[in-house]
Structure 1
Amino acid sequence: MSAPPRKSSVGMETRHKSETAKTGRIHPAASPEHVPDPGSDANERLLCRMEVMMQSMRSDIVTEFEQIVSGVVKREIAAALRPLESGRKCTLSAQSETINSLEDTATDHGGQLTSLQATVALLTEQVGSLSKKCEDLEGRSRQNNVRIVGVPEGVEGARPTDFVATLLRDLLGLNDKPVLDRAHRTLRPKPKDGEPPRPFIARVNLFQQRNEILRRAGASAPLLYQGKRESVFPDFTAAVSKKRSAFATVKKSLHSCPGVKFGLFYPAVLRVTLPGGQTHRFEDPELAADFVTKHVKTMVSPDSI
């Protein structure tokens, strides 16, 4: 058996040349790795050198600019401070003297304030004491007075003292007219039509007769004059009247307790006497109400009410 014929090397070369002629170029042989271009590395190195140079120039420019600005600022500040530095010693001396003067003044004022505080405290105590004394003196100056409420305006005529004495005798059934030192309306303005009349203030000459008038006024209530109701009360100051009126609720409760005696003494002291003879005094209406609720009410049996 004969061997297959081999292609001639001349024919292979001829074919290769013809393919090259057709494409017009020769393709390089393929390699497993790309070989970098030496020109690109040179460009990158050149760019790095330029950036370093620009950074250095920028730093130099900034440093020089800062030096120029700082020098100008320093000169301006020095020029502005020169007048102050020239008179600094005098200025500091004057300020030191001013501060010392202020310290001395503050110390002096502090002492004066301390003295004033002590004086104010003393005066406050004295004013409080004097106010209490004035209130007591005013109240005692009214001890012989009675207040008559409800008398129409103008019926007293030109002699109000005689009119009030006759009125008290007729209202209370007294044997004789009481001796009055004076009698007058309260000093507020005369009321208009439809307004209540001003009360009468009458000063009784004898304190015992004044008490008798008040006792009969309480026993003879209601009192009528010309068909109108009249009332006779003690004449107290506004402060005392307010204190006494605070016991009104307690007094109303005690009225419903048989066997319990009580009285409201001047200026505003409630005295309660229990059936066993025990006596209690109260100046505070709340304490009095609490005592009546807890002790007096429990002593009264339901059958005795």
Structure 2
Amino acid sequence: KFDARFEELGADVKHLGGRVQDLEEDREAAITQTQHFETLLSTQATQIASLFRWVDDLDNRGRRNNIRVRGLPEPPLGETENIDLTLQTLFNELLQRSHDTPFHLDRAHRALRARGAPNSAPRDVICRVHHFTLKEEVMKAARNMPSIIFDDHTVELFQDVSRSTLLARRELKPVTDQLRARSIRYRWGYPFALHVRADNRSLSISTPEDVPDFLQALELSPVTVLGWFGGDPNAPPPPLPQRQPWRTARRDRRRPLDTTRGADRSSTDPP
């Protein structure tokens, strides 16, 4: 009897060993497949970031002739606004030409958002100059002036860029603040990049991953820069779901028979 039980126990152990081996093989296959997926996702993330940069560059190239004018007051409610005439007068003043000199604009309009409260800042004016060389002359004249006063209001002129480029520049503001504090000149590049030339070296930031090496090369303080391609590249992945450990349930083989339940069933069941 003991030998029979021993042989039965040995067969159970052998069966469990085979199942454990199958589980280990499945685990190795799952790990290999997971590593393959991680490599594939990393490659796709790089490709998506590259596509994002080129699409953003195409958007900015379509805005090369645009000028964003900030500070022009809006007329009272109910009155019409002749933006073309206002911009013609402003740009001719910057170029030191007569106010009635023709200035060809393809289009001009206020920023496409609802008008704010009466005490809020006026909406920006975006215009497209027909000739690129003329637009560059206007921007160069604006940069050479310490301030632009038009109709008793301070006006600023900016190159019109895409929303994603503005977001990326906003994320890199801690970096540009340090560059200005150290009197290090920088310029923005297209596709989006931050270029610096210092000590006969050319350094640039084109992706969020370039920020740590850029700061270390210029001996700047480390800053945390979020990824402008969507999400933080330095953020750790979310934790994997944890399974509850197996627990062995205790069984009482000598459980007494529930006679009450059987009696109730016999009394209620039909004959």
Question: Superposition pairs for residues 174-185 of structure 1, below 5 Å?
Answer: 174-175=96-97, 178-185=103-110
CA distance in 1, matches of 2:81, 2:152: 23
Deviations 1:5-52 (A, max 9, x none): xxxxxxxxxxxxxxxxxxxxxxxxxxxxxxxxxxxxxxxxxxxxxxxx
Conserved? CA contact 2:57–2:190, under 8 Å: no
User: Which has the larger share of helix?
Assistant: 1
- Larger relative contact order (Cα-Cα within 8 Å, sequence gap ≥ 6): 2
2:63 corresponds to: 142
1:167, distance to aligned residue in structure 2 (A): 1.3
Alpha-carbon distance change, 132 to 290 in structure 1, aligned in 2, over 3 angstroms: closer
TM-score by length of 1: 0.47
2:128 is matched with which residue? 203
CA deviation map 1:240-290 (0-9, x unaligned): 1111222333223223445x54211124201111243x2122114674475
Asked whether 1:283 is paired with 2:206, we answer: yes
SS of the residue aligned with 1:229? strand
Q: Quick one: which amino acid aligns to residue 240 of structure 1?
A: T
Which residue matches 2:75? Answer: 154
Separation (CA, whole Å) in 1 of partners of 2:81 and 2:185 = 44
- The one of 155, 168, 171 equivalent to 2:91 is 168
Inter-CA distance 213–244: structure 2 relative to 1 (3 Å threshold): farther
The runs of 5 or more residues in structure 2 that have no matched partner are: 1-40, 222-271
1:225 match: 150
Bigger drift between 204-213 and 282-291 goes to 282-291
Q: Which amino acid aligns with 2:70?
A: V
Taking the aligned partners of 1:218 and 1:191, their CA distance within structure 2 comes to 29
Identity, in percent, stands at 26
Distance 2:125 2:71 in 1: 9
Structure 1 gap segments, 5+ residues each:
1-120, 299-305
1:183-194 matched pairs, under 5 angstroms:
183-194=108-119
2:197 matches 1:273: yes
One-letter amino acid matched to 2:143: G
The structure 2 residue matched to 1:251, chosen from 162, 176, 186, is 176
Deviations 1:111-153 (A, max 9, x none): xxxxxxxxxx9xx99xx68876654433221111011111111
Whether 1:215 aligns to 2:140 is: yes
Number of aligned residue pairs: 172
Give the aligned residue type for 2:58. L
1-structure distance, mates of 2:189, 2:52: 21
Q: TM-score, with normalisation over the residues of structure 2?
A: 0.52
Larger Rg: 1
Change (3 A) 1:212 1:289: farther
1:254/1:292 contact within 8 Å kept: no
- Where 1:264 maps in the other structure, the secondary structure is strand
Answer yes or no: is the 8 Å Cα contact 1:180–1:202 preserved in 2.
Answer: yes
